[in-house]
Amino acid sequence: MLGSTYTDQTCSIARSLEVVGERWTLLIIRDTFLGIRRFEDIQRDLGIARNVLTARLEHLLEHDVLERRQYQDRPARFEYFLTEKGLGLWPVIHSLMSWGDEFAPSPGGRPTISTHRGCGGELNADRVCQACGELVSSPRQSEAIAGPGAAEGHPLLSKAG
Here's the x/- map for a copy of itself, 59-98, by CB under 8 A: it reads as: --------------------------x--xx-xxxxxxxx
Looking at residues 118 to 137 of the shown chain, list those that interact with a copy of itself (rule: CB under 8 A): 125-128, 135, 137
When asked if residue 18 is in the footprint of a copy of itself (CB under 8 A), the reply is yes
When asked if residue 27 is in the footprint of a copy of itself (CB under 8 A), the reply is yes
Closest CA to 95 of 16, 157, 10: 16
- From the list 38, 39, 41, 46, which residue makes contact with a copy of itself (rule: CB under 8 A)? 46
The 8-class DSSP code of residue 135 comes to B
The residue among 72 and 105 lying less far from a copy of itself, judged by its C-beta, is: 105
The DSSP annotation for 27-77 comes to HHHHHHHTT--BHHHHHHHHT--HHHHHHHHHHHHHTTSEEEEEEETTTTE
Task: Please write down the HEC assignment for all residues of 75-89.
Answer: CCEEEEEECHHHHCC
Q: Rounded CA gap, 87 and 76, in Å? A: 26
Binding footprint of a copy of itself on the chain (CB under 8 A): 3-4, 6, 8-19, 21-24, 26-27, 30, 46-49, 85, 88-89, 91-106, 110-112, 125-128, 135, 137, 149-151, 153-154
